[in-house]
């Protein structure tokens, strides 16, 4: 999986190098919620975490002034205390991710100083850490390791599909809202055969600077 991510990033940077001009680079901070949904034989649970992302993207023109291809890379951090999940009470839950969004941006000029965007595309997602900490015992569990439970273990790789809308103001600042949903069942534990389904989704507001 690491080789796959490296190949995607290298190809994106090579394409970016073929067309260098102003306002193609966007450095963005996003704030919002990450939700992981667990569904096993009718039992459902959710982990709603709050945090944000920090990343950079590069717009490669496909149709001048109208359509761009915008690959990027982002780091995400989401956390929450007092989560009741997996049968544990009063725990904190923290996750980090490395994401590679591959968006297409459709742009509509509203005025000389404002542009409306509609964007959509897949995001390649690699889980870096996912930890639960019991506050009463101070014990920590890495969900990717499977030490929390033989039945609960995340797969690190996911593909999310989503999109959103945004505004560029004076070719300097971008405001956006975005939703993504994970297509891959991230169950990596012993409940195979589709008995346990784990899917992640994400909603965020973004503020970016154009260069």
Do 9 and 100 meet the contact criterion of CB atoms below 8 Å apart? yes
Q: With 80 as the cut, is the pLDDT of residue 135 above it? A: no
What is the pLDDT, as a whole number, of residue 140?
Answer: 79
Phi, psi of 7, rounded to the nearest 5 degrees = -65, -45
C-alpha 5, offset from chain centre: 14
Q: Which residues of 21-46 are buried (b: 16+ CB within 10 A; e: fewer)?
A: eeebbbebebebebbbbbbbeeeeee
Q: Two tokens at 196? A: 């346990």
Give per-residue pLDDT as tens, 33-86. Answer: 999 887 877 777 777 899 999 999 999 999 988 999 999 999 999 998 766 555
Phi, psi of 185 (to 5 degrees): -70, 115
Cα angle: 81, vertex 78, 119; to 5 degrees: 145
pLDDT at 18: 42
Give pLDDT, residue 88: 55
What is the phi/psi pair of residue 9, to 5°?
Answer: -65, -40
Average pLDDT score, the chain: 83
Q: What distance in Å separates the CA atoms of residue 154 and residue 151, rounded to the nearest whole number?
A: 10
Altogether, the residues listed in the chain come to a count of 211
- Please check the confidence at residue 90 and state whether its pLDDT lies above 80: no
Task: Tell me the C-alpha distance between 127 and 86, whole Å.
Answer: 19
Residues 131-137, mean pLDDT to the nearest whole number: 77
Alpha carbons within 13 A on the beta-carbon side of 202: 33
Per residue in 138-174, pLDDT tens? 777 787 876 655 555 778 899 999 999 999 999 999 9
For position 15, what pLDDT does the model report? 45
Q: How far apart are CA 1 and CA 10, in angstroms?
A: 14
CA atoms within 13 A on the CB side of 67: 5
pTM for this predicted structure? 0.81
Is it the case that residue 98 has pLDDT exceeding 50? yes
Using alpha carbons, select from 130, 144, 127 the residue that is nearest to residue 92: 130
H or E stretch covering 204: strand 196-210
């Amino acid at each position: 999986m690491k080789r796959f991510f490296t190949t995607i990033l290298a190809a994106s940077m090579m394409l970016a190098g073929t067309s260098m001009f102003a306002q193609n680079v966007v450095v963005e901070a996003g704030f919002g919620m990450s939700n992981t949904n667990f569904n096993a034989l009718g039992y459902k649970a959710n982990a709603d975490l709050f945090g944000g992302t920090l990343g950079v993207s590069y717009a490669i023109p496909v149709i001048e002034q109208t359509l761009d291809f915008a690959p990027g890379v982002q780091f995400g951090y989401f956390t929450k205390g007092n989560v009741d999940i997996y049968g544990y009470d009063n725990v904190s839950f923290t996750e980090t991710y490395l994401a590679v969004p591959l968006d297409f941006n459709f742009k509509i000029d509203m005025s000389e100083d404002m542009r409306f965007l509609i964007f959509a595309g897949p995001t390649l997602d690699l889980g870096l850490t996912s930890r639960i900490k019991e506050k009463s015992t101070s014990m920590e569990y890495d969900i990717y390791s499977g030490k929390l439970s033989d039945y609960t273990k995340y797969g690190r790789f996911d593909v999310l599909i989503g999109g959103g809308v945004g505004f560029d103001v004076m070719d300097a600042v971008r405001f956006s809202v975005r939703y993504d949903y994970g297509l891959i069942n991230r169950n990596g534990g012993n409940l195979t055969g589709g008995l346990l389904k784990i899917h992640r989704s994400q909603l965020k507001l973004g503020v970016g600077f154009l260069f």
